[in-house]
Amino acid sequence: MKKLIKTGDMILIVFILAISLGLLLIRLPARADTRNVYAEILVDGEVAYEIDLSRLSEERIIRLGSCTICAGHEGVEFIESDCPDQICVQSGQLSRPGDMAACVPNKTMIRIVGSEEMDAVTY
C-alpha cells in the first residue's frame, strides 16, 4: 500500500491536537455537584431566563417565539422548534454544568451553569 502520509501532515495534526487539548484544559468546566446548577436561556445574545433547577418542584414550560423549552428538576431541553434542522430538539436533555444546546435559526440557546462559575445570581 503506497504511503499516503508525509511528515508535514503528522506535524500539522499534532499541532492542531495540541492546540485543542490546550483549549480543553483551559476551559475545563467545574464538574461540581448538581445541587446548585441553573440553566441560562439566551435569546439573541441576551439572557432571557435563569432557572434554578434544584428549586423546581414541577416542570416549567417556556415558549420563546418558535421554540418550546421544558425545564424540570432533572434538566432542561428543547421539546419543540420550527427550525428545519431540529438539532436543538435532538440535543436532548441538559443537566450538567457546561452542557448546552442551541437553535441557531431562532437564536435561542440553553446553557447549564455550575455554581462555581458565577459569583452572584441577580435574577
Partner 1 sequence: MPLRTEKTYSKVAYLGILGALTIVLSIMENAIMPALPFMPPGAKPGLSNIVVMFAASTLGLQETLLIVVFKSLFVLITRGGSAFLMSISGGLLSSLTALILIRMDMKNISLIGISVAAAVVHNIGQLLMSALLTHTLMLLDYLPLLMIFGVVSGVITGVIVSLVIPAVSQVQTHKYFGGVYGEKSK
Q: Is 32 in the site for partner 1 (CB under 8 A)?
A: no
Q: Given the rule CB under 8 A, which of 30-38, 51-59, 61-69, 84-92 is the region that contacts partner 1?
A: 84-92
The residue among 109, 106, 61, 112 whose CA lies nearest residue 85 is: 106
| Residue 37, C-alpha cell as written in the block | 446548577
In the complex, minimum distance from the CB of residue 54 to partner 1, in angstroms, rounded to a whole number: 22
Q: Given the rule CB under 8 A, which of 2-10, 30-38, 48-56, 62-70 is the region that contacts partner 1?
A: 2-10
| CB of 47 closer than 8 Å to CB of 121 | no
Taking the least distance from each CB to partner 1, the nearer of 56 and 83 is: 83
Integer Cα distance of 104 and 99 in angstroms: 16
Which parts of 42-81 interact with partner 1 (CB under 8 A)?
Answer: 42, 44-46
Q: Is 86 in the site for partner 1 (CB under 8 A)?
A: yes
The residue among 58, 86, 62 whose CA lies nearest residue 72 is: 58
Question: For partner 1, which residue of 52, 60, 70, 105 counts as binding (CB under 8 A)?
Answer: 105
DSSP string, 25-82: HHT------GGG-EEEEEETTEEEEEEEGGG-SS-EEEEETTEEEEE-SS-EEEEEE-
Q: Which residues in this chain contact partner 1 in the complex, by CB under 8 A?
A: 4-9, 11-13, 16-17, 19-24, 27, 42, 44-46, 83-88, 90-91, 98, 100-102, 104-105, 107, 109, 111
